[in-house]
Structure 1
Amino acid sequence: MKRGIVLLLVTMFVTYGLSSYFLVHYKVQKNDTLYSISLNFSVSPSLILDWNPGLTLTSLRVGQEIVIPQPPGYLYTVKKGDTLVIIAKRFFTVASLIRRANNLNSDVIYVGQKLFIPESIIGRAFNNEKFFIWPVYGTISSGFGWRIHPITGKYSFHSGVDIAAPEGTPIFAAESGIVEFAGKNGGYGLMVKIKSSSYEHVYAHLSRIDVYEGQYVKRGQLIGRVGSTGLSTGPHLHFEIRVNQKAVNPMNYLPSRIWVLRKELIGAGGE
């Protein structure tokens, strides 16, 4: 057995949950990187960042303990007004698959409950009719173009669309590409900018960033969570698409419907 695998076995211990997943508590070893750890556990760096708030590419320290779920997946905290169907739509999947993953006997859930969302079921209901997919499930609260700014009260140009959703709602990469920026950016708050083949796409006002600069992300990969950082009136995602560094109307590039139930999911007990 390779020395690296031996180290993994020696330095980790497992905490079993009540649902169909367990948590590995891994102690960082000398020469570990976020990427090497992700390879050893067959998870994405984004997943590790999401499970370990405050962790960054450069903050790993020898002896530091991080949490890694097996199988790969994410946690969602139930909020007031949530139903299993609504939560499923936020992950672009169906309620029956979440119910099965959490060993639930019914659709009854309660505020504050932690639900495990396996990575394998995420994105089953992405609408792939266009080049881009919707980055978040929510409601359009402000469109592209000139408007009265809700905070400054001034007539100004809105360079994207605002999609209102509860804080903590997952945000997915609308198209594959390289992360060019991930961090704080003035009124944008916590922001991610991804460069794809012909476009740049911007995600702003996040509560959490789950990618790092230079990382390649695939379309549909979770890159962060909805928040209200920066100049914001409430939890939402500000989403921009840029062509040759000029903002264009995202609605011309996004599918006509946000969430699409496919035939193969209906047999799985879809909504």
Structure 2
Amino acid sequence: MSYRLKFRWSRWLAVAATTFLISFAINSWGTIQSHASDLAENNSNNLVAQDVSAIWEQGSFPVENFQSYTSGFGYRISPVTGKRQFHNGLDLAAPRGSYIRNWWGGQATKLSDGNACGTSITIQSGEWQHVYCHLEGHVEDSGNGKYLIDKDGGIQIAQGQNIPVGARIGRIGMTGRTTGPHLHWVLKHNGGYVDPALVLKEMFKRQTISSTSTS
């Protein structure tokens, strides 16, 4: 990773942390830490056989040109239906066409473009699953497998493809059910939803410590 790219990731993560709109559930943090341990120990792709702090230090903030959070994890009044519904992820706003990066190395297990999530990609990293919704482009089935294709963004990802941490996997779009350009980002561990805000907060903390210790 180049110094310039690493600096940009740190800058986006810093902006995200300083504009935090989500309450930090401190009583839940022990669970998140244990999830991180499981990721290090059980990653089936052998991409992260390292200690927990390394996971938080090397994880990638998922959105370039981040602007703000538009909706947090948990129950809310849906801007689309007007009803109280569970929001299973974190919404991160950015200008349409901004690139989205893979949070952690893993395999693209599902590509879809036919539901409320719009054009989306699901990546499996050991016991963790991360989903990226409302991307530009579409999904094609070539007969030899599915592909997520965004020609204008230079993106082509095959289902089953291994994707490294920080790789560009799509662009901010407005596909599916959405009221504006943003990434709807979902994290699950062993089938259970995890608040992405908790993960980003710890990433910022660990990456700040790492940057300070190496400067």
- The TM-score bracket by the shorter chain reads 0.5 to 0.7
**Which shows bigger deviation, 141-150 or 247-256?**
247-256
**Partner residue of 1:192?**
121
Q: Provide structure 1 residue ranges, at least 5 long, that are not aligned to the other structure.
A: 1-92, 94-118, 267-271
Matches within 5 A, 1:193-212: 193-208=122-137, 209=148, 210=155, 211-212=157-158
Residue 239 of structure 1: aligned partner: 185
Query: Quick one: percent identity of the two aligned structures?
Result: 34
Higher helix share: 2
In the other structure, the counterpart of 1:179 is 108
Partner Cα separation in structure 2 for residue 179 and residue 245 of structure 1? 16
Whole-angstrom distance in 2 between the partners of 1:193 and 1:148: 26
Contact 1:148 1:156 in 2 (8 A): yes
Shift of 1:133: 2.6
TM-score by length of 1: 0.49
Q: Partner letter of residue 100 of structure 2?
A: I
Partner residue, 1:230:
176
**What is the CA-CA distance between 1:185 and the residue it aligns to?**
3.7
Are residues 1:157 and 2:86 paired?
Answer: yes
Q: CA deviation at 1:253?
A: 1.4
CA distance in 1, matches of 2:86, 2:180: 19
Preserved contact between residue 185 and residue 191 of structure 1 (Cα < 8 Å): no
Equivalent position of 1:135 in the other structure = 62
How far, CA to CA, are the matches of 1:123 and 1:177 in structure 2?
20
Tell me which residue corresponds to 2:161.
215
Cα shift readout 1:102-149 (whole Å, capped 9, x = no counterpart) = xxxxxxxxxxxxxxxxx8953443347716331014211100000000
User: Residue 9 of structure 2 is aligned with which of 126, 135, 145?
Assistant: 126
1:23 paired residue number: none
Please say if residues 171 and 224 of structure 1, whose CA atoms lie closer than 8 Å, have aligned partners that are also in contact. Answer: yes
Alignment-derived partner of residue 15 in structure 1: none
RMSD: 2.8
The number of aligned residues is 147
The superposition leaves residues 69-107 of structure 1 with CA deviations (integer Å, 9 ceiling, x where unpaired) of xxxxxxxxxxxxxxxxxxxxxxxx9xxxxxxxxxxxxxx
Measured in 1, the distance between the counterparts of 2:6 and 2:185 equals: 19
5+ long unaligned stretches in structure 2: 11-53, 138-147, 149-154
Structure 1 stretches of 4+ with a deviation exceeding 2 A read 119-129, 255-260
Structure of larger gyration radius? 1
- Give the letter for the 1:122 counterpart: L
Asked if 1:250 corresponds to 2:178, the answer is: no
Once residues 188 and 134 of structure 1 are traced to their aligned partners in structure 2, the CA distance between those partners, rounded to angstroms, is: 20
Higher relative contact order structure (alpha carbons within 8 Å, sequence separation ≥ 6):
2
Aligned mates of 2:77, 2:129 — CA distance in 1: 26
